[in-house]
Amino acid sequence: MQRCAMICVLLAFWNTTMTDAGSPIVIAHRGASGYLPEHSLEAKALAYGQGANFIEQDVVLSKDGIPVVLHDIHVDTVTDVAAVFPQRKREDGRYYAIDFTLAELKQLHLNERINLKTGKRVFPDRFPAGQSSFRIPTLAEEIELIQGLNASTGGTVGIYPEIKQPAWHKQQGQDITPIVLQVLKTHGYTDANDAIYLQCFDPTETRRIREELGCQLKLVQLIGSNSWNEAGVDYDAMRTAEGIKAIAQYADAIGPWMPHIVTGRDSDGKPVITDLVKRAHDEGLVVHPYTFRKDELPKYTKSFDDAMMIFCEDAKIDGLFTDFPDLAVKFLQQN
């Protein structure tokens, strides 16, 4: 009852004026995660009410093979797992979602992300610690929430799932991708015209999704930084002309990190924009960079709106991930 009541309150924010058809799309990064704990159903309901065009789902597997929505393969940075299951950590001291059944994961409370080294919240001014109650959703539960809201409001909000660390899941004995594709198919996502983008950082897996598994959904090749060691991939090479051409053979879009598009300002104060967006557009790819945050702005920007202006007007991106969907929607409506 508490969750239903909260969702009803959040939907009071519903804004019927969406962004214009020709504007960049607004992708709610882990939901409206600037306001509520990331990937909670409540954060997704709020993102829907704030006018996001798509809502993101990061997907990992539970021990019993159920796709759940969490940004990481670990659960210790966003839940109270250490208090609930203190003996279940691995030798590295971390707690992994794949070591817990869905029933066990459902016992955990979601909280604002913390830095394990300092024990402090990553974004201290976001939703207060210890207030209200939030739980880990399954991918199916989240899809059903969004589809239900589309039915009850007449909306057309899409989903934007990411398959997290598929190679690591295979090392643990689970092949995550076919499981996720089956959940998507069960809920009606099978075609390129469906309101979904499916993303992954691992290009081997993204290509496999298209060529081996025969997926016809819109695919997004995420592009990270080599320093992250995300998928054993040379992301610098991926951003070259040859790399973009290779991506265009199997994907429909790229999801680059913001610094891959704008590197700063020159001596005259003008934004320094790389040719990545142009390269992608020349190959027929759309570009959805991540992540626009009002509490973590690039140093060369003065405000959230300033960042939006640079990327949308100067760099000409096609969409963006943001923790603050309302701010992006408001900017696009006014510009």
Establish if 204 belongs to a structural domain: yes
Res. 9: pLDDT tops 50: no
Q: Calculate the alpha carbon distances from 312 to 10, 288, 304, 320 in Å.
A: 28, 11, 12, 9
User: How does residue 69 score in pLDDT terms, banded at 50, 70 and 90?
Assistant: very high
Q: Is residue 324 part of a domain?
A: yes
Question: Residues 6 or more apart from 204 whose CB is under 8 A from it?
Answer: 167, 231
The structure's pTM equals 0.95
Per-residue pLDDT at 16: 42
CATH number for the domain that contains residue 65: 3.20.20.190
Q: Is residue 101 included in any domain, yes or no?
A: no
Confidence of residue 20 (pLDDT cuts 50, 70, 90): low
**Structural domain tally of the chain?**
1
Is the distance from CB of 322 to CB of 305 less than 8 angstroms? no
Which residues span the domain enclosing 60?
Answer: 2-72+136-334
Question: Does any domain span residue 273?
Answer: yes
Quick check: 10 and 42 in contact, CB under 8 A?
Answer: yes
In a domain, 7, yes or no: yes
Arithmetic mean of pLDDT, 305-332: 98
d(CA 191, CA 43): 27
Per-chain mean pLDDT for the chain = 94
What is the separation of C-alpha 34 from the centre of its chain, rounded to a whole number of angstroms?
A: 13
Q: pLDDT (tens digit, 9 = 90+) per residue, 221-273? A: 999 999 998 778 999 999 999 999 999 999 999 999 999 999 999 999 999 99
Could you give the residue numbers annotated as active site?
29, 71
Helices 2-10 and 41-49: angle between axes, nearest 10 degrees: 20
Whether 242 maps to a domain, the answer reads yes
Q: Is 119 inside any structural domain?
A: no
pLDDT of residue 17: 44
pLDDT digits (tens, 9 = 90+) for 161-182: 999 999 999 999 999 999 999 9
Report the number of secondary-structure helices (H) and strands (E) in the chain: 13, 11
In a domain, 32, yes or no: yes
Residue 18, pLDDT above cutoff 60: no
